[in-house]
């Protein structure tokens, strides 16, 4: 798309693009394991802001890669995100009943099918990425595996479960969220970069610094919205963090200071993009969207 297209139009076009890519990647309901396929599609399609795929597309655009080259990594990272939501909502985790404005996967299909759907979505992500026409699909799979595993998202979820009901310092909270939320944001940007030609180490480091700041900003805003938002506007149960006595940016800092922290992280994200000039316009706009969103 032309670089002068308004961000909302760009985002909407790429949201439709990733929806189509996910639809192609997911198994048809006509499969023998029809209930499993239906649960996978239910958990993945028809909702969500698609921030992680948008980060893949925006980074790919910044490094000169075609959008069709970014389809597979964008779909892979969203499949990982979808699996994580299915598992996070299970009774043994966050025990939630509402996601994207409708019953969570285990409420709609039962716990056993939801567990299998999450497992299958995770596996499918690596099939999609490993068979893509990237210059190094092996590196891409390694990045996604590391950022979604024990050193990343899954490890962050474990830290979150351990922290529930107990105190954390700000440094400990940020260490947890750099894994739980931030790692998949970093993976999205890294995968977008891998869709294009090799970059100098300094540019890769700048993109990673951007992703680190944007990922933390996303979590700060999530914590604020959990207090200020409604279940209808969020599409998930509001007030769950306080009800479960989870440490959050709001519980540690209060809302005014949490807002200042989000703004500081947005500034850090913008500063990290300085070496790229206008090439990273969409990434900068995504940092703004992440920080200023109301749902």
pLDDT in tens, 16-55: 999 999 999 999 998 789 999 999 999 999 888 999 999 9
How far does Cα 289 stand from its chain's mean position?
Answer: 14
Residue 144: enclosing H or E segment and its boundaries?
Answer: helix 137-148
Q: 49-80 in b/e burial notation, b at 16+ Cβ within 10 A?
A: ebbbbbbbbbbbbbbebebebbbbbbbbbbbb
Residue 32: predicted pLDDT:
87
79/73 Cα distance (integer angstroms):
10
Residue 181: pLDDT over 50: yes
Please state the pTM of the whole predicted model.
0.95
- 93-117 pLDDT, tens per residue? 999 999 999 999 999 999 999 999 9
- Mean pLDDT over each residue of the chain, to the nearest integer: 94
Residue 176 binned pLDDT confidence (cut-offs 50, 70, 90): very high
Per-residue pLDDT for 205 more than 70? yes
Domains of the chain, earliest start first = 7-292 (1.10.600.10)
Grade residue 1 by pLDDT with cuts at 50, 70 and 90.
very low
Specify the pLDDT at position 231.
Answer: 80
Handedness of CA 234, 184, 82, 243 (dihedral sign): negative
């Amino acid at each position: 798309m032309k670089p002068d297209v308004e961000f909302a139009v760009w985002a909407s076009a790429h949201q439709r693009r990733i929806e189509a890519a996910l639809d192609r990647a997911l198994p048809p309901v006509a499969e023998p394991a029809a209930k499993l396929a239906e649960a996978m599609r239910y958990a993945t399609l028809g909702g969500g802001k698609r921030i992680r795929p948008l980060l893949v597309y925006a980074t790919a655009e910044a490094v000169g890669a075609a959008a069709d080259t970014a389809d597979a990594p964008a779909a892979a990272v969203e499949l990982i995100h979808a699996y994580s939501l299915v598992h996070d909502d299970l009774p043994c985790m966050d025990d939630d009943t509402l996601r994207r404005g409708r019953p969570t996967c285990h409420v709609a299909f039962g716990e056993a099918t939801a567990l299998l759907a999450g497992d299958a979505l995770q596996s499918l992500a690596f099939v999609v990425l490993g068979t893509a026409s990237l210059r190094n699909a092996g590196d891409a799979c390694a990045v996604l595996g590391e950022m979604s595993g024990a050193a990343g998202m899954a490890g962050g979820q474990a830290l979150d479960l351990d922290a529930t009901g107990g105190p954390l310092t700000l440094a400990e909270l940020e260490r947890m969220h750099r894994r739980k939320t931030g790692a998949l944001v970093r993976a999205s940007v890294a995968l977008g970069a891998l869709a294009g030609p090799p970059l100098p180490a300094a540019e890769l480091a700048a993109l990673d610094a951007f992703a680190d700041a944007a990922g933390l900003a996303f979590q700060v805003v999530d914590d604020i919205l959990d207090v200020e938002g409604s279940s209808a506007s969020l599409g998930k149960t509001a007030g769950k963090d306080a009800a479960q006595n989870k440490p959050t940016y709001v519980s540690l800092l209060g809302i005014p200071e949490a807002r200042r922290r989000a703004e500081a992280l947005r500034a850090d994200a913008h500063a990290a993009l300085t070496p790229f000039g206008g090439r990273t316009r969409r990434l900068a706009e995504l940092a703004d969207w992440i920080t200023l969103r109301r749902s």
